[in-house]
Chain A
Amino acid sequence: MSPQFVDFDGDKQLDIVAGTFSGSPFVAIGSEKGWQQPVEIKDGKGDRIVLNQFWNYETKKWDETKRCDPEDALKQGHGTSAIAWDQDGDGDLDLLLGDYDGGYLYLRKNDGKPGAPKFVGRNKPVMVGGKPLNVGKMSTPRIVDWDRDGLMDLVCSSMGDAYGDGDGGGVWLFLNTGSQKTPFAKAQLLIPLSKKESKQEPLRPDSGLYADVADCDGDGDLDLVVGGYTHMPKKGNAENEDTRTSCVWLYENKTSKKGPTTGAAKIR
């Protein structure tokens, strides 16, 4: 899951939006008394919002559908992360859905009004340089004004190979171009793909990278906090030995920058 604090229903109280491994996004509505238990975010017709694969709560089995496919369908997708933000600038919150399986990022447009969402029935791939954005097994997208130009940029992190010996995950930055047609520029790597090189002590998060962005040390630049697994060498001969250890890491930004960076610029 990828929790996001955001005023989803427009009542001035922060709600919590999160994608889940079930394949659908949920929201915990906030109030002065706290958060309600999460409920599924549905589209304008009351249908589940999914990519392709989803957990069917009725049959209690994994299921799939093409109901929400874009016109030019991509590889089968599994939506496990979600954030709400106004991508098309029409005043209401759309959804960005991260694809754990195919690695793409999809827009689910909101044709409703602030506080009264009416999400359309189909997903639309987010494009970069004329091609669908793809970071390979996406963990989560985040929205932040990275370069402080007043436009919200996109930070995406990836799972990498969380179960085998393949390369691990990384974190990418896509700067906002200000264009509705091609809103994001080509990727820049913030954290390179892991080669899983830890020996005695964990050196970095290798797989399952979940990143968030904020100036956590108050020095005026944006730091990264990244959850994930570190893959340590095997201690025994068992084939199924799980050598992964999980925790949350801080990547402190050492770039000298001037000008304020505040929490208000973090996420709408």
Chain B
Amino acid sequence: MVMNHKTLISLAGGLCIAAASPAQNPGDTFAPPVRLKAGEKFVGEQRYFPSPVFHDMNGDGSLDIVVGDLVGKLTVALRRPGDGPIAFEAETTLKAADGKDLKFHNW
């Protein structure tokens, strides 16, 4: 049998079935997590339940980070160009076409 990434994932799925609880995915390993910075602050700092999504907001080919939160606000942290460590410009509030802050409803 030819072993490739797909095969390994498939075998991993078989192992998962035998386990009482989900196993750590053996197909992917991650470095210890690091806090992302936007300007001088951490991305999502002092936000209620920050919920990030990658998106190229300015069309420069790099993925920026858009962060939502519990109260329905969205901020944008643009990716800084360069080959160094991943860094972002300071977060700014995402505006709607009417010029006001884009605000998702809540309660």
Contact = CB atoms under 8 A, between A and B. Distances in A.
A225 B36 contact: yes
Interface in A191-235: 191-192, 202-205, 208, 210, 212-214, 216-217, 221-229
B13 to A, nearest CB: 5
Interface of A: 1-5, 16, 18, 20-22, 26, 28, 31, 33-38, 40, 55, 62, 129, 139-140, 147-149, 162, 172-173, 175, 185-192, 202-205, 208, 210, 212-214, 216-217, 221-229, 245-255, 257, 263, 266
A139 B42 CA distance: 21
Interface of B: 5-6, 9, 12-13, 16-17, 22-25, 27-36, 42-56, 63, 65-70, 72, 74, 86, 94-98, 100, 102-107
Contacts of A192: 24
B49 A147 contact: no
Contacts of B96: 28, 34-37
Nearest to A153: B9
Contact of B53 (A3, A33, A204, A221): A3
Nearest to A61: B107
A35 B13 contact: no
5 contacts: A1-B69, A147-B27, A188-B16, A188-B25, A222-B28
A62 B106 CA distance: 12
Contacts of A21: 70, 106-107
A187 B22 CA distance: 6
Nearest to A259: B5
B5 A257 contact: yes
